[in-house]
Amino acid sequence: MKTITLVIILSVLVSACTTPTLRREMRFTNRLADEGLWEEARYRWEKQLRKNPDSPALLNNLAVAMEQLGRRDQAEELYKRALKLAPGNPQIKRNFERFMNPDSDRKEKADEKPKHPQRGDRPDR
């Protein structure tokens, strides 16, 4: 009984400690992307996604990175996975629409970058 209680307490402590680390890592990675360091951002978002594979925010951010790196097939797959998990997320929808229709977006806002859906938020949303 004591062992089970100890395991539960340790599990709670570990999960409580990792959430701020994930948030901090996501904010840092978003800053890398803002600076145009797409390869490094891609690497870090892939690493975060292994820990949190159902995060629409991470999928979207990784899709943006893949798009910026010219990996359009991978970007499209990631956008679709993000939309499947969060079909109502307006930023993911906007990024995907812009991705699918790049010419129409250029007419509206030639210098606007793709948006990260949850800057600094919990990556599991």
| Residue showing tokens 């210098």 | 111
Predicted local confidence at residue 14, as pLDDT: 46
Condensed to tens digits (0 to 9), the pLDDT of residues 50-87 reads 999 999 999 999 999 999 999 999 999 999 999 999 99
* CA-based radius of gyration for the chain: 17
Condensed to tens digits (0 to 9), the pLDDT of residues 81-110 reads 999 999 999 999 999 999 999 887 565 555
The answer on pLDDT for 10 being more than 90 is: no
- Write down the mean pLDDT value for the chain: 80
| CB-based contacts of 60, cutoff 8 Å, min separation 6 | 78, 79, 82, 89, 91, 92, 95, 116, 117
Predicted local confidence at residue 17, as pLDDT: 46
Predicted local confidence at residue 2, as pLDDT: 55
The answer on pLDDT for 111 being more than 90 is: no
Confidence of residue 26 (pLDDT cuts 50, 70, 90): confident
- Residue 116's nearest CA partner among 99, 91, 94, 96 is 91
Domains of the chain: 20-108 (1.25.40.10)
